[in-house]
Amino acid sequence: MLQKLFKFKGGIKPAHHKAESQGAPIAIAPLPGRLVIPLSQSAGEAAQPVVAVGDRVLKGQFIGRAEGWLSSAVHASTSGTVVAVEPRLMPHPSGLATLSVVIEPDGEDRWLPLQAPDYKNMSPKAVLQYLQDAGVVGMGGAGFPSHAKMQNSTVLEDLVINGAECEPYITCDDRLMRERAGEIVAGSRVIRDLLQVKRVLIGIEDNKPEAIAAMREAVEAMGETTFSVVVVPTLYPAGGIKQLIRVLTGKEIPVDKRSTDLGIQCFNVATALSVWRALNLGEPVVNRIVTLTGNVEQAGNWEVLIGTPMNELLALARPKADTDGIIMGGPMMGISVPAFDVPVIKASNCLIARSPALFPPPPPEMPCIRCGACARVCPQELQPFELYWWSRARQFDKAQAYNLASCIECGCCAYVCPANIPLVQYFRFSKGEIRAAAKEQKMADSAKARFEFKQFRAEREKAEKAEKLARAAAAQAAKLAAERDTPPGGESDTAVYAADAKQAVIAAAVERARLQRAETDSRDA
Amino acid sequence: MPIAPPISSPYLHAETSVRRIMNQVMLALLPGIVVYTALIGLALIVQVLLACCFALIFEGLFQKLRGRSLASLQDGSALVTACLIALTFPPLSPWWLTVLGVFFAIVVAKQLYGGLGQNPFNPAMIAFAVCIVAFPALMSQWPAQGLHLPFSQQMEVIFGFSPRIDALTAATPLDAIKTALKMDSFTGSIQDLLKSQSLYGTFAGRGWEWVTTAYLVGGLFLIFRRVITWQTPVAFLGSMTVISLICWLIDPARFSDPLFHLFSGGAMLGAFFIATDPVSGCTTPAGKLIFGGGAGLLAYLIRVFGGFPDGIAFSILIMNICAPLIDVYTQPAIFAMQQGGKKKERDHA
Amino acid sequence: MEILIAIAVMALGALTLGAALGYAAIRFKVEGDLITGKVEAILPQTQCGQCGFAGCKPYAEAIVRGEAEINLCPPGGDEGAKKLADLLGREFKPVSGGGDGEAVKPRLTAIIREAECIGCTLCIQACPVDAIVGAARQMHTVIETLCTGCELCVKPCPVECIDMVSVPETLATWKYAYPIIPIKSAERAHDVPNNVGAMNDTQSSHRKVA
């Protein structure tokens, strides 16, 4: 079946660097000495720990409960003992520590007894709940909880399975499609049935002929007529969700809409596989395929337990002596990890050993000459140099007016910039400031509302009190009129007495507190 | 092994730099310089070198004075400006006129506005405009056709050891037409006039037509190498063709044909090398069309009806003023904007 | 006769212009409350009273009446003062009396050392935004997400059990920093700070006239 393809504007063609790692089959990485499993591995809220130090856990056992709908569960990747539940560094550009569960493996790698759910007879809501509990998140790098993407309220037409893998160096999806095409197609079928879409489009860049062949074979073996494997031209960022949807369907997703608003949903091939494993085997996400490449002797793809420290993993590829860092993800959109021993997480599709020779430090930034090279390669058809001017001048409202929000941070602009301006970082900076300002505004609005309500309440109480006093005074006057002989003053004596009593209570409490603090202090000393 | 400081992605960078772009522009100027030198003599090379040396000196001096790094000397932008000045000034101008032009371009038009990327006007055109207003006589002294001074004599003229030679005061073909147009007694036709003055070559000013053809070749090279985009030069030459064609059709005796205009004066140089200056020009595709079109039209009007021999410098400077506004109003639609995306209201204040 | 025509023309002109101006004054009347609302929207709503007024709204009203300076709001910082200056067309003055850039305090939140709380409810009464819960003789606690960090609860506490602590950065609040790339070559990285300063001072270019 010939599929009409569309084009997106812009895009770049950096050197692929896929040959290094795409040759060898996926190997299974050995058990590491320690596993550090961060509890915030997906977009949305971090999971809440449900294990304590000293607990014995089995592989696949629940260790973090999803917190709210936009969150995903976390599981033990192997059997062993929980030795710590504490903040640890995670692969995040902030270099911040997040609550993590540290497990010392017992070497047995013993699974929890797995039970596949009867998902065909379960309600869609229950299936989504199951996927959330199985910790299924987007494996392409973004880590968005998958169940949240399957809750469709609109009628969908197309399901896009993203096997484009457009970033240089990364080959994990390529190997996965070559070796586990059947499971990917089966997983896609499950998603198709859940979303009730008419058509499944599997988009693969034309630089992966073996993967294309394997996927086509798997689709044919399944006898699925609604599936088509579509070969898309190799052009970065063809694997960006908006660009891939554009290429496959001709539809363009605006920044203020979701793809489902246009009848399309999109999943990565590795995510489809996780869905299949969760529903057909009852297996939660405890491992993933990671490409090890870059400044190494032997690049390749490994099946890795989530939580494996990156230095232990990278050692398998024998990094060269001048390795000075690790990039997680691709070289266009990945992040420099803050330390060598941060763990592999669900979104870690690729580890690239950095070296000054392979990734030279950025040359000094020069003034923008408005050459427009960035605008010509921007797949979102933005004017990055305009966004740069406004971001640099911290004029965020202007940056927004020039559609900063539409930027997908693909890095094409910075790649071609002759002045070496770190454009993407300027945009990330601006976006962060805008997001923070919006949050602050929201907080200020709520503070204002509460302040006004408090004032209103105070007014009301005052009015009520005044009314009460007036009534009491009236009653008093009536009483006085009735009993002229009674000497005045009794009333106020009681009031004074009451005030004294209150003072005394506070004084007593203050004294108690002082004693208590003194006691604490002396204990501390 | 210590971990390298984290930087923001992307970690890859294309083989490109400002210097590379400027080098390509200079490469594209080379055919023009070669043909021009063949026509005029080595004096042109001397002027180019003179301009380049002083451009670097002024740039370095003012970068230093402004407390900036001298690394910007390597970006080549000052050299491109210098070359344009040498090519637009009369080739036998006295040396101090060239240096003065370079001073205005580099110091006043560029450094005082904040250096590379900050200048609202094209520096070379500021130099030309200042000099032609301040020294109209010197800036109009083009060597007469067929005047082949030996190199030593050219040097004497440039460096002021020898009195100015009368032959230098010859007018360019453009000038000749204008002078003729302004004479009420003029009754013949432009063509006769040009031919009688033996200024006319195959399709434009004699000899000069080949220099401008060489500029055209260089300009096409720049488009081919994607250093510049097609919009500005096409709009520039297009609008000049249209307006000159209209005038020519109305009165062929008084107005010369489009071909003559395209290959005379600084039209080709202006269209491909000056109007395309990204810093002072428009950036949006539609803006470039307006910018180029406006510059071409104004250049024709100034060179035919105005008081100066050629209109390229003033037309481009006028369009430079308008460029930011044109850009604001010609922002292209972004991805998905046609397909139901909300167009954000842009504040034009 | 001619003089009469001249007078008539001038009178007519004056009348027309007067009518147009009068109409414009009605048609485009700026509501006083509108500008107060805009000023208030810029203020951070911490209700801390550091400006000397009993909350953000009274301060906004005082600014609009011209009775207060625009640089009295420490939580809003210089950034806020700049916005006010832009909105009102007044001259910008730094908040911290001439200090540059340091005016914005890190965001704080109040924490009650609950073991020491005597349940006097004084802090609850002091809190302008109802961010403290508790009842008489019961332990009180601060709802941290609602706390504006105004510090108004600290003084009333008779046992001094309220601390102001800075809000720690989390993955959710972390932001990318302003790019700092040395302008000179990497070998001269030691003089980066100077270069960065030099680079950032020309933040807006001529382009911004558009």
All partners of chain A with 3 or more CB pairs under 8 angstroms: B, C
Whether B179 has a pLDDT exceeding 70, the answer reads no
What is residue B9's predicted lDDT score, i.e. its pLDDT? 85
Domain extent, residue C42, equals: 32-88
C84 with C124, same domain: the answer is no
- The residues facing A303 across adjacent strands are A28, A289
Whether A107 has a pLDDT exceeding 80, the answer reads yes
Whether A230 has a pLDDT exceeding 80, the answer reads yes
CA dist., res. A71 & res. B324, Å (int): 46
Whether C7 has a pLDDT exceeding 90, the answer reads yes
Indicate the residue of C179, C206, C209 with minimum beta-carbon distance to B113.
C206
Interface test with B, best of C206, C208, C209 (most B CBs within 10 A): C206
Per-residue pLDDT, averaged over B203-230, amounts to 88
C115 with C161, same domain: the answer is yes
Which of A42-51, A106-115, A128-137, B1-10 shows the lowest mean pLDDT across its residues? B1-10
What is residue A298's predicted lDDT score, i.e. its pLDDT? 92
| Residue B321: HSE in the Cβ half-sphere, 13 Å Cα cutoff | 6
What is residue C125's predicted lDDT score, i.e. its pLDDT? 87
Residue B269 token pair: 């140089």
Domain boundaries, chain A: 19-30+132-317, 365-453
Domain boundaries, chain B: 15-170, 171-324
B348 CB burial (10 A radius; 0-12, 13-18, 19+): exposed
Q: Collect all residues of chain B within an 8 Å Cβ-Cβ radius of residue A339.
A: 3
CA dist., res. A234 & res. B327, Å (int): 33
Cβ of C176 under 8 Å from any chain B Cβ?
A: yes
Whether A494 has a pLDDT exceeding 80, the answer reads no
Per-residue pLDDT, averaged over B178-196, amounts to 58
Whether B196 has a pLDDT exceeding 60, the answer reads no
Helix and strand element counts for chain A (H, E)? 15, 17
What is residue B344's predicted lDDT score, i.e. its pLDDT? 41
What is residue A345's predicted lDDT score, i.e. its pLDDT? 93
With H, G, I as helix, E, B as strand and everything else as coil, classify residue B164. coil
Per-residue pLDDT, averaged over A463-473, amounts to 91
What is residue C70's predicted lDDT score, i.e. its pLDDT? 85
Give A354-365 pLDDT, tens digit per residue: 998 999 888 888
Cβ of B112 under 8 Å from any chain C Cβ?
A: no
CB-based contact B180:B251 (threshold 8 Å): no
Q: Reading across the β-sheet that carries A48-49, which strands appear in turn? A: A48-49, A62-65, A74-75
What is residue B71's predicted lDDT score, i.e. its pLDDT? 79
What is residue B314's predicted lDDT score, i.e. its pLDDT? 94
C128 CB burial (10 A radius; 0-12, 13-18, 19+): buried
Inter-chain CB proximity B17 and A364 less than 8 Å: no
What is residue C200's predicted lDDT score, i.e. its pLDDT? 37
Which DSSP letter does residue B107 get? I
What is residue A464's predicted lDDT score, i.e. its pLDDT? 92
CA dist., res. A74 & res. A102, Å (int): 12
What is residue A295's predicted lDDT score, i.e. its pLDDT? 92
- The count of other CB atoms within 10 Å of the CB of residue B34 is 14
Which of A237-246, B12-21, B241-250, C69-78 shows the lowest mean pLDDT across its residues? C69-78
List % helix, strand, coil for chain B (3-state, nearest 5).
60, 0, 35
| Residue B192: HSE in the Cβ half-sphere, 13 Å Cα cutoff | 8
Instruction: Label residue A497 by pLDDT band (50, 70, 90).
Output: low
Report which of residues B3 and B185 the model is more confident about.
Answer: B3
Inter-chain CB proximity B68 and C183 less than 8 Å: yes
ipTM for the predicted complex comes to 0.86
Inter-chain CB proximity A254 and B336 less than 8 Å: yes
Whether B114 has a pLDDT exceeding 60, the answer reads yes
- The count of other CB atoms within 10 Å of the CB of residue B77 is 29
CB-based contact C171:A92 (threshold 8 Å): yes
Q: Collect all residues of chain A within an 8 Å Cβ-Cβ radius of residue C179.
A: 365, 422, 425-426, 429
What is residue B176's predicted lDDT score, i.e. its pLDDT? 65
Alpha helices for A232-296 (secondary structure H) = 241-249, 269-276
C120 with C158, same domain: the answer is yes
CB-based contact A186:A161 (threshold 8 Å): no
Residue B11 token pair: 């970690």
Which DSSP letter does residue C115 get? G
What is residue B182's predicted lDDT score, i.e. its pLDDT? 59
- Give the β-pairing of A56-57 and A80-89: antiparallel
With H, G, I as helix, E, B as strand and everything else as coil, classify residue C65. helix
What is residue B77's predicted lDDT score, i.e. its pLDDT? 92
Tokens 């040759």 locate to A23
Give B313-346 pLDDT, tens digit per residue: 999 999 999 999 999 999 998 888 764 434 444 4
CB-based contact B125:B133 (threshold 8 Å): no
Inter-chain CB proximity A373 and B4 less than 8 Å: no
Inter-chain CB proximity B118 and C179 less than 8 Å: no
Q: Collect all residues of chain B within an 8 Å Cβ-Cβ radius of residue C183.
A: 68-69, 71
Inter-chain CB proximity C176 and B8 less than 8 Å: yes
Whether C97 has a pLDDT exceeding 60, the answer reads no
CA dist., res. B315 & res. A428, Å (int): 40
Query: Following DSSP, what letter does each residue of C36-48 receive, concatenated?
Result: HHHHHHHS-----
- The count of other CB atoms within 10 Å of the CB of residue A449 is 13
CB-based contact C101:C144 (threshold 8 Å): no
Query: Following DSSP, what letter does each residue of A121-188 receive, concatenated?
Result: GS-HHHHHHHHHHTT-B-TTTT--BHHHHS---SPP-EEEEEE---SSS--HHHHHHHHSHHHHHHHH
- Give the dihedral of Cα atoms B242, B244, B250, B254; nearest 10 deg: 180
- Give the dihedral of Cα atoms A468, A469, A470, A474; nearest 10 deg: 100
Cβ of B327 under 8 Å from any chain C Cβ?
A: yes
What is residue C189's predicted lDDT score, i.e. its pLDDT? 38
Give A20-60 pLDDT, tens digit per residue: 998 889 999 999 999 999 998 888 888 899 999 999 999 99
C171 to chain B, minimum CA–CA distance in Å? 16
What is residue A141's predicted lDDT score, i.e. its pLDDT? 75
Tokens 């807006």 locate to C204
Instruction: Label residue A215 by pLDDT band (50, 70, 90).
Output: very high
For residue A328, report the phi and psi dihedrals to the nearest 5 degrees: -95, 125
Inter-chain CB proximity B335 and A380 less than 8 Å: yes
Inter-chain CB proximity B3 and A325 less than 8 Å: yes
Q: Collect all residues of chain C within an 8 Å Cβ-Cβ radius of residue B117.
A: 205
Inter-chain CB proximity B14 and A339 less than 8 Å: no
Residue of C nearest to B281 (CA): C207
All partners of chain C with 3 or more CB pairs under 8 angstroms: A, B
Which of A190-194, B20-24, B195-199, C158-162 shows the lowest mean pLDDT across its residues? B195-199
Q: Collect all residues of chain A within an 8 Å Cβ-Cβ radius of residue B338.
A: 252
Give B149-168 pLDDT, tens digit per residue: 778 878 877 887 655 555 55
What is residue A413's predicted lDDT score, i.e. its pLDDT? 95
What is residue A496's predicted lDDT score, i.e. its pLDDT? 58
- How many beta-carbon pairs under 8 angstroms link A with C? 116
- The count of other CB atoms within 10 Å of the CB of residue A523 is 7
Give B72-96 pLDDT, tens digit per residue: 788 899 999 999 999 999 888 899 9
- Give the β-pairing of A325-328 and A350-354: antiparallel
- Give the dihedral of Cα atoms A374, A379, A383, A389; nearest 10 deg: -70
Cβ of C202 under 8 Å from any chain B Cβ?
A: yes
Cβ of C207 under 8 Å from any chain B Cβ?
A: yes
- Across all residues in chain A, what is the average pLDDT? 88
CB-based contact B87:B35 (threshold 8 Å): no
B278 CB burial (10 A radius; 0-12, 13-18, 19+): buried
Inter-chain CB proximity A447 and C183 less than 8 Å: no
- pTM of the prediction? 0.84
Inter-chain CB proximity C176 and A428 less than 8 Å: yes
Closest residue by Cα to residue A247 from A234, A238, A236: A238
Residue B182 token pair: 């302004």
Inter-chain CB proximity A96 and C171 less than 8 Å: yes
A394 to chain C, minimum CA–CA distance in Å? 9
Whether C204 has a pLDDT exceeding 50, the answer reads no
Q: Collect all residues of chain B within an 8 Å Cβ-Cβ radius of residue C176.
A: 8
CA dist., res. B41 & res. A352, Å (int): 58
Whether A521 has a pLDDT exceeding 90, the answer reads no
Indicate the residue of A337, A383, A385 with minimum beta-carbon distance to B331.
A383
Per-residue pLDDT, averaged over A417-432, amounts to 93
C51 to chain A, minimum CA–CA distance in Å? 16
**Does some domain include residue C156?**
yes
Per-residue pLDDT, averaged over A315-322, amounts to 92
Cβ of A69 under 8 Å from any chain C Cβ?
A: no
In whole angstroms, what separates CA C62 from the centre of its chain? 14
Per-residue pLDDT, averaged over B207-213, amounts to 86
Give A392-405 pLDDT, tens digit per residue: 988 898 999 999 99
Give the H/E segment covering residue A35. strand A35-38
Query: Following DSSP, what letter does each residue of B253-317 receive, concatenated?
Result: TTS--HHHHHTSTTHHHIIIIITT-TTTS--SHHHHHHHHHHHHHHHHHHHHHSSSS--HHHHHH
Whether B348 has a pLDDT exceeding 90, the answer reads no
Whether B198 has a pLDDT exceeding 60, the answer reads no
Whether A492 has a pLDDT exceeding 80, the answer reads no
Write the CB contacts of B339 (distance below 8 Å, at least 6 apart in sequence).
Answer: A251, A252, A254
What is residue C137's predicted lDDT score, i.e. its pLDDT? 82
Q: Collect all residues of chain A within an 8 Å Cβ-Cβ radius of residue C207.
A: 389
C70 CB burial (10 A radius; 0-12, 13-18, 19+): buried
Inter-chain CB proximity C198 and B325 less than 8 Å: no
Query: Following DSSP, what letter does each residue of A433-492 receive, concatenated?
Result: HHHHHHHHHHHHHHHHHHHHHHHHHHHHHHHHHHHHHHHHHHHHHHHHHH-TTSPTTHHH
Inter-chain CB proximity B341 and A256 less than 8 Å: yes
Pick the CATH number of A19-30+132-317 from 3.40.50.11540, 3.50.50.60, 1.10.3720.10, 3.90.1150.10: 3.40.50.11540
Domain count, chain C: 2
Instruction: Label residue C206 by pLDDT band (50, 70, 90).
Output: very low
Closest residue by Cα to residue A57 from A116, A115, A111, A11: A111
- How many beta-carbon pairs under 8 angstroms link B with C? 29
Give the H/E segment covering residue A376. helix A373-377
Whether B46 has a pLDDT exceeding 90, the answer reads yes
Indicate the residue of C129, C179, C183 with minimum beta-carbon distance to A429.
C179
- Across all residues in chain B, what is the average pLDDT? 84
**CATH assignment at residue C139:** 3.30.70.20
Residue of B nearest to A341 (CA): B3
Write the CB contacts of C209 (distance below 8 Å, at least 6 apart in sequence).
Answer: B324
Closest residue by Cα to residue A35 from A232, A310, A240: A310
Which of A40-54, B194-208, C58-72 shows the lowest mean pLDDT across its residues? B194-208
Give the H/E segment covering residue A500. helix A490-524
With H, G, I as helix, E, B as strand and everything else as coil, classify residue A89. strand
- The residues facing A309 across adjacent strands are A343
CA dist., res. C4 & res. C11, Å (int): 10
- The residues facing A117 across adjacent strands are none
Give whole-number Cα distances, A269 to A45, A120, A176, A254, B254, in Å: 24, 21, 8, 24, 73
Write out the residues of chain C at the interface with chain A, using a CB-CB cutoff of 8 A: 40, 43-47, 55-57, 115-116, 118-120, 128-131, 146, 148, 158-159, 161, 169-171, 173-179, 181-186, 199, 203-205, 207-208
Whether C209 has a pLDDT exceeding 50, the answer reads no
Inter-chain CB proximity C179 and A422 less than 8 Å: yes
